Amino acid sequence: MFEQKLSDKEILARQHAKHAEKRTVPLVVILNHIRSLYNVGSIFRTADGIGIEKLWLCGITGTPGSSRSMISKTALGAEKVVDWGYAWDAVSVARLYKAHGYEIVLLEQIKGSHPYNLYQPKKPVCLVLGNEVEGISDEFLKLCDVPLEIEMAGLKNSLNVSVAFGIVAYDIKHKLSKS
């Protein structure tokens, strides 16, 4: 039987020990024109939990350290430990990773999208997430190796971008860890 929860101090000590042997997953994530700073912060926190290689904030996506403390409200410090960069042109960033052998994976509902749970990554992955309303630009469609989607059972056609990221990124992490 379980008797008590771990204290914050015990959790931090456990995390510190894990951090010393931190392993990253060959997963790069590009956020392109994500409007909500709360979503950006939430993605930072999930990215840290997964151990992604790098997080790219592109276009109008807010960055930590700006006057926008809303990111840190949901990131809870993850913005200080996740390796991240900023670039205006997300397509150029994706092209760079494609040239280095990464598979460009879009999380977007388009013709030909595959259910995320059926996807089997064959090499390092560059996962691209687009604007919450407009989605991913047509330029990415030309660059895309694999379009993925989360099949919806309800009446709404999509999930919040940070929630969708968590579902798909953890799935990719587990599949990459097994290969």
Residue 107: band (very low, low, confident or very high) from pLDDT cuts 50, 70, 90: very high
Q: What is the mean pLDDT of residues 28-48?
A: 94
For residue 103, the model assigns a pLDDT of 98
* Whole-angstrom distance, CA of residue 146 vs CA of residue 119: 8
Q: How confident is the model at residue 38 (pLDDT cuts 50, 70, 90)?
A: very high
Which of the pair, 3 or 68, is modelled with greater confidence? 3
Q: Check whether 149 has a pLDDT greater than 70.
A: yes
Average pLDDT of the chain to the nearest whole number = 89
Residue 93 has pLDDT above 60, yes or no: yes
Residue 7 lies in a domain: no
pLDDT of res. 17? 61
Predicted TM-score (pTM) of the model is: 0.87
**91-98 average pLDDT score:** 97
Q: Total structural domains in the chain?
A: 1
Q: Which two tokens stand for residue 90?
A: 């997300």
Is 12 a domain residue? no
Q: In CATH, what number is assigned to the domain containing residue 169?
A: 3.40.1280.10
Question: Residue 166: inside a domain, yes or no?
Answer: yes
Q: Which residue range forms the structural domain that includes residue 70?
A: 22-178
Range in 14-28, 72-86, 101-115 with the lowest mean pLDDT: 14-28
Q: Look at residue 75 and tell me if it is in a domain.
A: yes
Any domain includes 145: yes
Q: Is residue 146 part of a domain?
A: yes
pLDDT of residue 4: 77
Beta strands in the chain (DSSP E): 25-32, 52-58, 84-87, 103-107, 114-115, 125-129, 146-149
CA–CA gap between residue 130 and residue 127 (Å, rounded): 10
- Pick the closest to residue 130 from 112, 117, 143, 115 (CA basis): 143
170 is a domain residue? yes
Task: Please state which of the ranges 69-83, 87-101, 111-125 shows the lowest mean pLDDT.
Answer: 69-83
- Of 1-5, 22-26, 138-142, 155-159, which range is least confident? 1-5
Say what percent of the chain tops pLDDT 90.
61
